[in-house]
Amino acid sequence: MLALLALSLLAIGHEAASVSPLLTDEETFTSSEYYSSVESEINITPPPPAVPLDFVYHNYTALTDFLRNVSYHYPGLTHLYSIGQSVLKKELWVLAVSSTPDRHVAGKPEMKYVGNIHGNEPVSKEILLHLILHLVSGYGHDPVITLLLDHSRIHFLVSMNPDGFEKSSEGTCSNDKGRQNQKDYDLNRNFPDHFQHNHFPLQPETRAVIQWMSKVPFVLSAGLHGGALVASYPYENQISQPNHMLEREENPTPDDDVFRHLATVYAKNHATMWMGKPCKPKSESFVGGIVNGAKWYTFVGGMQDYNYIFHGTMEITLEVSCCKHPMASTLRQHWLDNRKALILYMYEALRGVKGFVMDEESGLPVGGAQMSVKGRHREFNTTADGEYWRILLNGSYILQVSAEGYESYEEPFEVMGDEATVLNVTLRRLAVSLSSTSSSPTLLPTGTVEDASGSTNDTTSPSDPDEFSGDGSHNTPDPSGIHPNPNNNSLTTSVTVATLDAVTSNNETTPNDLPTNPNATAATTTNNSGSNEDDDDDDDGDDDNVHPSNNADGPWAGAVISAASIPLAFGGGITMRLCLTLITACTIVFLRK
């Protein structure tokens, strides 16, 4: 199998070179032949890891020590950084795992796993720790793991709620003690929501995740919970809240086929989730182990819908244990039950369509281009480096692209097999009109950011990692100001632990170091939905979400009227010479007065 893998990857590399001049052999690959063998090879046992890990619950100190040790012993595969702090100032550690862990490589999709969102559901944290160790110890030995880490980067926020975990008690299956953060806010009810207003104040843990997502262009994600065995997919909220469970209806997204597929991939590869059996008598069963969130129960302010609507990230919610905080003696079995599903789910980040949007004249990337797949009414955006990626199932599609100052563009394409189709797009600038007052996207060298005022900023890490902005200044973001256009930034190479700004300051784009376009615009639609737990625990009934304002400056903001634009305002009925004559005459009369 290893020999076959080496030969197939070598042949694939030569084939990929002719696919696109923008992606190298290392960045473009065909995985269909190998992907089909993943299930048969998934049980390859990696060599003993360099860092020991017992099946016990890890408190904050033990968790920090483990992540630091893994980062120390596997420096070429891991990068440890913090995205912020909890209420009690505990670092929200993230470990990036990849063959290029400290930077974003164009063509490599970014994905994330987020665990322990509710402090009293720590099984997710422990199985993610074992997944990390499985990946780093298997690289170079297990072809499944090697292929995955060579062609993607996975970020592990193993504990989003470290304060809550410290209050939870082992052996409690339904008690809510420790569920909320230190200020008694449910973090999975704390995100901005598209469907209803969320009045809860933004918590530091939530703010950190929001800013994290604005820095890293995540393609795929999963939030892990406990209290059920099911894979839930968006939407989880809707405009009207049903009064009874029998009145609940599905609220599908425009990408419903993809979300159902993602949920099914996990459920069918879990030891028992695919059976759809209820965890306790009289509780719900789930056909195939999957469910649309709104059909299960609705709530405001969840993380799952927020990922999709704000950032275009495909996230599902994974309920990985019937008991929320079971005895540690069960952790080994939970890891074995979820291991295969966790690995195969990550492979889904490698399918669909990807590429760059470039300026036809300069060849530079067009950041912030608005993109959509025709028939799917959900826009997404290119990163500052002009890169895009969309997970799609096999089929024929039409890609639609538009950007300020450019002609709109459509291109049909097909997705076949399990590898991503590479589709690079060049946009032609619109003819410059004398009446034009809007500027087209600014093209700057890679690594700089230009704000609306025209000043160029770097990404200096702030002293307080809990509150920061892209220019290094401290701030407290308002949910209504968060936009769904992630910057294409990533980790800096460093031996020491980094903060999120350091994580996003060192990009690797194409082999030619393509410049970025930092004036990336973003769709202003907002939405959120969170994880699915037992109805009695999770449906708090509060209508909590924030709608960002799309027209704060008014429809005429920045409008400029010039003499040269007047003839065009008359539709060409008056010539330029006549118009200028009238203006001159009016000016003379005015001066005489």
What residues does each domain of the chain span? 2-348+523-538, 564-592
Burial class of 167 by CB neighbour count within 10 A (0 to 12, 13 to 18, 19+): middle
Distance between CA atoms of 318 and 220, rounded to whole angstroms? 13
Please report the DSSP string for 487-503 in residue order: ----PPP-SS-EEHHHH
Strands (E), 203-249: 218-225, 228-233
Distance between CA atoms of 262 and 223, rounded to whole angstroms? 13
Residues 6+ apart with CB under 8 A from 189: 198, 200, 299, 300, 301, 302, 530, 540, 542, 544
Distance between CA atoms of 370 and 374, rounded to whole angstroms? 12
Topology of domain 2-348+523-538, per CATH?
Aminopeptidase (3.40.630)
pLDDT tens-digit readout, 253-282: 999 999 999 999 999 999 999 999 889 887
Q: Taking the CA atoms of 126, 128, 132 and 133 in sequence, report the sign of the dihedral they define.
A: positive
pTM for the model: 0.71
- Has 319 been annotated as catalytic? yes
Task: Please check whether residue 182 is in contact with residue 163, taking contact to mean a CB–CB distance below 8 angstroms.
Answer: yes
Catalytic residue among 91, 110, 315, 319: 319
Distance between CA atoms of 198 and 217, rounded to whole angstroms? 25
pLDDT of residue 504: 53
pLDDT of residue 592: 45
Tokens found for residue 47: 């060599």
pLDDT of residue 246: 58
Weakly modelled stretches of the chain, pLDDT under 70: 1-45, 240-247, 433-593
Q: Which of 133, 134, 115, 132 is nearest to 124 (CA)?
A: 115
Distance between CA atoms of 383 and 403, rounded to whole angstroms? 13
Distance between CA atoms of 429 and 423, rounded to whole angstroms? 19
β-strand 218-225 against 110-114: which pairing, if any? parallel
> Which conformational region is residue 355 in: left (phi greater than 0), alpha (psi within -120 to 50 degrees), or beta?
left
pLDDT of residue 454: 32
Tokens found for residue 535: 């109805």
